[in-house]
Amino acid sequence: MELILLGPPGAGKGTQSKFLETRYGVAQISTGDMLRAEVKAGSPIGLEAKSIMDAGGLVSDELIIRMIGERISRPDCAKGFILDGFPRTVPQAEALDKLLHETAVDLDAVIELKVDETVLVERISGRFTCAKCGTGYHDSFKQPKQAGVCDICGGTEFVRRPDDKAETVHARLEAYNAQTAPILPYYKAKGRLYSVDGMAEMDDVQAQIEAVLRQIGVAAG
């Protein structure tokens, strides 16, 4: 299965693609996670990306395309992959087409998660994760069962993404509307675009995505 999950910041791409990774046995590839790992490691890519990410802008197409080209050639992608956060510009979408063509792989679907902007801001600005195991929580929607203690690993340290500050979230939404939304007609013209209601409960969004996958003949692994 080769799938793209597309949607604005906070639409639920990470949440849903992690579920699909387990259910369908294919690699989840998040360019945001890859970049955050580079920033944490203090690598040259991380140094180039950090200030752009902190300001809510998009990292250069050239850097991202190079990173993805290397990533999808790894053995864990042999059975397929779910792209979360890539492509994010039309040149990235064109570069992906070229990469897939070279390896004779066909894209199954691009699934758009549709969510209203006010909900996105609320979702992102309340989000935090366990520093030890990465489990995600939310100030309003999903608090740890015992305050200050991770449900999964018992960790007591939590972190918030630097780009989840309200003012940066608005810059990220602007970048989505200006640079990423034009990808939607690109994939629509290719007959690959499907949309689901990302405002629904998480389980319901999952069910909608699975219905699309069944419709196009993709079975769980």
Pick between residue 24 and residue 89 the one whose CB is nearest to ligand AP5: 89
**CB of 151: closest distance to ligand AP5 in angstroms?**
13
Catalytic-role residue among 13, 36, 50, 123 = 13
53 is a site residue for ligand AP5 (CB under 6 A): yes
Q: Which range of residues in 71-79, 80-88, 102-110, 144-152 is near ligand AP5 by CB under 6 A?
A: 80-88
User: What secondary structure does DSSP assign to 15-52, as a single string?
Assistant: HHHHHHHHHHT-EEEEHHHHHHHHHHHT-HHHHHHHHH
- Which is the catalytic residue, given 18, 23, 71, 127? 127
13 catalytic residue (yes or no): yes
Helices (H), 153-201: 166-175, 183-189
123 binds ligand AP5 (CB under 6 A): yes
Type of residue found at 58: L
36 is catalytic: no
Q: Applying CB under 6 A, what is the total number of residues that bind ligand AP5?
A: 34
Rounded-to-integer distance, Cα 26 and Cα 105, Å: 14
**3-state SS, residue 132:** coil
Q: How far is the CB of 159 from ligand AP5 (least distance, A)?
A: 13
Minimum Å gap between C-beta 106 and ligand AP5 is: 21
In Å, how far from its chain's centre is CA 22? 15
Is 32 an interacting residue with respect to ligand AP5 (CB under 6 A)? yes
Chain centroid, CA 33 distance in Å: 8
Instruction: Report whether 65 contacts 95 (CB < 8 A).
Output: yes
Give whichever of 85 and 155 is closer to ligand AP5, judged by the CB atom. Answer: 85
C-alpha dist (Å) from residue 49 to 2, 14, 28, 117, 167: 27, 20, 21, 25, 19
Q: Quick check: 170 binds ligand AP5 (CB under 6 A)? A: no
182 binds ligand AP5 (CB under 6 A): no
Is 88 a catalytic site residue? yes
Query: Minimum Å distance from CB 60 to ligand AP5?
Result: 7
Task: Quote the tokens at residue 137.
Answer: 């929580």
By annotation, the residues acting in catalysis are 13, 88, 127, 161, 172
